[in-house]
Amino acid sequence: MEEKKPNNLGGQLNAGRGYEPAPQKVDPKKAAEEFEKVRTKLDEFKKKVIKKYNYTIAISLLPGQACVLFEEDEQLPKEVIDSKPMHVLLLIPEEHYKDIPKIKPEILKIVKEVGENIWVHIKTPVDLWNYGLDSKFEFLDAVSASFPVFDSGLLGAFRLANIHKSLVLRKFEKYVASYVIAGSLVRGTASKDSDVDIFVVIDDTDVKRMPRLELLEKLRGIIYDYIREANALAGVKNVLNVQVYLLTDFWMSVKDAHPVMFTFIRDGIPLYDRGTFIPWKLLLQMGKIKPITEAIDLYMKEGDRTNELVNRRLMDCMVDVYYGVVTPTQALMMLLGEAPPVPKHLAEEVKKVLVDREKLMSESDLKTLAKAVYLFKQYEYGKLKEFSGKEVDEFMKEFQSYNKMIKGLRAKIEKRVQEKTAVELNKEAFGLLKTFFGNKNEKLLVKEFDEKLVKKGKIQQRFRHIVHDVANFPKKVKGKGMSQKEVDSAKKDAIELIDSLTEYGQRADLISTRRGSMEITYSGNRKAELVLFEKDSFIIELGVIRKIHDGKLVKSSKEEFEKALNDNKGKLITKVSNHVFDILKREFGDFELSM
């Protein structure tokens, strides 16, 4: 069953976008093959024309189905039409329009030299725009669809606009009141990469239930989506700037003499119009569209607002610079481990920490900070009414110098923090090792750590290289330095080592006496520890505590072990029962016990 087509603009929007690729009137493959046959001749023609007339804007081959339009418009002789020539468009600047009678004979000579049946239409951009003003939009479509032989930029930009127009018309059909091109392209001041400025006016007079703002947003979303496809199809890099207006809003702006609309109507050229834009343009040229008194008063008030607006923006500049000074300074304080001071007390806190204590910031830099805080306070209390452009420039220079200093300071502080962290972690780790093995140098402590803790299975193997890294940590940071990522990784490893040593120390404290504590050796050189109590016994291996309970080996915890030790008042037993041996046999296989 065929779907019913929406009969108004609101229905068309709510029915979905109905997006389809742009229809192809000509088979592009076939057209390309035909064009390739005459490319050599056209290239020769192009080279000769450009060499003689270097101001040429564009040369293009008009599509075959459009040739009849130009033949009828220019009333070509019947014998020329019957010869079925290739129709070529030659665009030259408007200032050379008066030279066309001289140019034509020379172009005919070039055509004869090329030896191809070519009819050349010599036109200026104004001739193209006149097609739009005369509502001959099919001529503009033909120029847009022509094959470019040479293009300085105008044809590509025009093709982009016309493709986008086709997509919009295909979607909205009768609701497009006007599709108008304007800007530098129409004024003749555009370069090859210039933006293409477009105005689309949509007739919204049949919309009853949808709010105007919602309608406009939906229209913009759809029309803007077509920009991407138009760029892809046109194959150019020009940016398409599209402004979408509702007919009712646009008319109100014209009636109130909005300057943008005046300029748009004055300079714009319709690529499509349903009798809306062209009458406005004629009325404007006749002086019939005049601004009302209220509009004049409104625009006059803009002059009065300018001074206030500029002062407001200069004040905003001062506030922006203030935050540019204060926020990074607070970050430095946090980097030093200080709580970020409130802006009100920032200058005095920075003096205590960065100037007096750390001796990292100079008094002159502190003055910049103090000035920023003072100016903002005056602004907050309403005492600072104006801030001149000269003052903004001076304050900005001070900020740039301060910001450069802050960045250098950060590097120094980070280096200092890294060194402090390395020394503290090294001191803590080797402090624990000294409690286990006595007050020895780091080299001997590392050796004993390896022999008495790692090899005996009391500390995990992976800590063997970590203890060496912790020993070298302060030297590495002070020497060539380490990246923050390397420091963070070394810090993480050092903390894990300290935690593991602390846990080992706690276990050693819990079992301060070796009575009732036996070492289990199994699977070669793997080690575990058996601690015997009256009721339950515990096995400790690499920090993992398990309990022998009801003839089974189950998970336990440090808290449960401590409770068992307290319940037995620290007394351990040295007798190993048969059922304990059976459990150890099942768990470890062949094993040895030693006191």
Domain range for 586 = 517-594
Helix axis angle, 389-437 to 293-335, nearest 10° = 30
Taking the C-alpha atoms of residue 430 and residue 238, their distance in angstroms, rounded to an integer, is 68
Please tell me the predicted confidence (pLDDT) of residue 394: 93
Please tell me the predicted confidence (pLDDT) of residue 296: 63
pLDDT tens digits along 233-270 = 888 888 999 998 888 888 887 776 677 777 888 889 99
CATH number of the domain residue 45 falls in: 3.30.460.10
Residue 178 resides in a domain: yes
| Joined tokens for residue 169 | 């018309």
- DSSP for residue 164: H
Residue 400 resides in a domain: no
| Residue 91: pLDDT over 90 | yes
Please tell me the predicted confidence (pLDDT) of residue 326: 93
Residue 11 resides in a domain: no
Q: How large is the average pLDDT for residues 278-283?
A: 86
CA atoms within 13 A on the CB side of 339: 3
CA 473 centroid distance within chain = 39
Torsion of CA 268, 273, 275, 279, to 10 degrees: 10
pTM greater than 0.75: no
Q: How large is the average pLDDT for residues 314-331?
A: 92
Of 510, 513, 476, the closest CA to residue 493 belongs to 476
pLDDT tens digits along 208-230 = 667 777 777 888 888 888 888 89
Residue 240 resides in a domain: yes
Is there a single domain that holds both residue 75 and residue 103?
A: yes
Q: How large is the average pLDDT for residues 572-594?
A: 76
Please tell me the predicted confidence (pLDDT) of residue 514: 43
Contacts of residue 209, Cβ cutoff 8 Å, sequence gap at least 6: 10
Is there a single domain that holds both residue 356 and residue 505?
A: no
Residue 22 resides in a domain: no
Please tell me the predicted confidence (pLDDT) of residue 278: 87
- Choice between 521 and 36, residue whose per-residue pLDDT is larger: 521
Reported for 353-359, long-range contacts at CB under 8 A and 24+ positions apart, including other chains, are: 354/409, 358/413
Is there a single domain that holds both residue 505 and residue 522?
A: no
- Choice between 123 and 258, residue whose per-residue pLDDT is larger: 123
How high is the mean pLDDT of the chain? Answer: 82
Cβ atoms within 10 Å, residue 266: 12
Please tell me the predicted confidence (pLDDT) of residue 401: 93
- DSSP for residue 150: E
Is there a single domain that holds both residue 359 and residue 500?
A: no
| Residue 564: pLDDT over 50 | yes
| Residue 367: pLDDT over 90 | yes
Is there a single domain that holds both residue 101 and residue 171?
A: yes
At residue 251, φ and ψ (nearest 5 deg) are -65, -40
| Residue 509: pLDDT over 90 | no
Handedness of CA 235, 240, 246, 252 (dihedral sign): negative
Cβ atoms within 10 Å, residue 162: 22
Is there a single domain that holds both residue 205 and residue 269?
A: yes
Lowest mean pLDDT among 209-213, 383-387, 411-415, 549-553: 209-213
Please tell me the predicted confidence (pLDDT) of residue 21: 42
pLDDT tens digits along 34-87 = 666 677 778 888 999 999 999 999 999 998 888 888 888 888 888 888 888 889
HEC letters along 61-120:
ECCHHHHHHHHHHCCCCHHHHHCCCEEEEEECCHHHHHHHHHHHHHHHHHHHHHCCCEEE
Contacts of residue 481, Cβ cutoff 8 Å, sequence gap at least 6: 415, 418
For residue 531, the cross-strand partners are: 517, 538
Please tell me the predicted confidence (pLDDT) of residue 103: 92
Q: How large is the average pLDDT for residues 135-149?
A: 90
Most confident listed range (360-369, 536-545, 566-575): 360-369
Residue 402 resides in a domain: no
Q: How large is the average pLDDT for residues 583-593?
A: 81
| Residue 404: pLDDT over 60 | yes
> What 3-state DSSP class applies to 297?
helix
Residue 401 resides in a domain: no
Is there a single domain that holds both residue 452 and residue 342?
A: no
Taking the C-alpha atoms of residue 187 and residue 175, their distance in angstroms, rounded to an integer, is 28
- Buried-state track 451-480, b at ≥16 Cβ within 10 A, e below 16: eebbeebbbeeebeebbeebbebbebbeee
pLDDT band at 505 (very low <50, low <70, confident <90, very high): confident
| Residue 369: pLDDT over 90 | yes
Q: In what order do the strands lie in the sheet with 147-151?
A: 118-123, 86-91, 58-61, 147-151
Please tell me the predicted confidence (pLDDT) of residue 588: 81
End position of a domain, from candidates 387, 406, 440: 387
| CA angle, 115 then 116 then 122, to 5° | 110
Is there a single domain that holds both residue 200 and residue 332?
A: no
Please tell me the predicted confidence (pLDDT) of residue 23: 46
Is there a single domain that holds both residue 277 and residue 337?
A: no
Taking the C-alpha atoms of residue 364 and residue 8, their distance in angstroms, rounded to an integer, is 71
Please tell me the predicted confidence (pLDDT) of residue 16: 47
pLDDT band at 31 (very low <50, low <70, confident <90, very high): low
Is there a single domain that holds both residue 227 and residue 154?
A: yes
Q: How large is the average pLDDT for residues 340-350?
A: 88
| Residue 325: pLDDT over 90 | yes
- DSSP for residue 475: H
Of 161, 244, 163, the closest CA to residue 204 belongs to 244
Domains held by the chain: number: 4
Helix axis angle, 277-285 to 259-267, nearest 10° = 100
| Residue 513: pLDDT over 50 | no
Helix locations, 146-257, DSSP H:
154-172, 184-187, 212-234, 247-255
Is there a single domain that holds both residue 143 and residue 235?
A: yes
End position of a domain, from candidates 285, 319, 351: 285
Contacts of residue 146, Cβ cutoff 8 Å, sequence gap at least 6: 60, 61, 62, 63, 89, 155
Please tell me the predicted confidence (pLDDT) of residue 11: 55
Range list of β-strands (E), 221-352: 240-246, 269-273
Please tell me the predicted confidence (pLDDT) of residue 92: 92
Is there a single domain that holds both residue 95 and residue 230?
A: yes
Please tell me the predicted confidence (pLDDT) of residue 29: 64
Residue 527 resides in a domain: yes
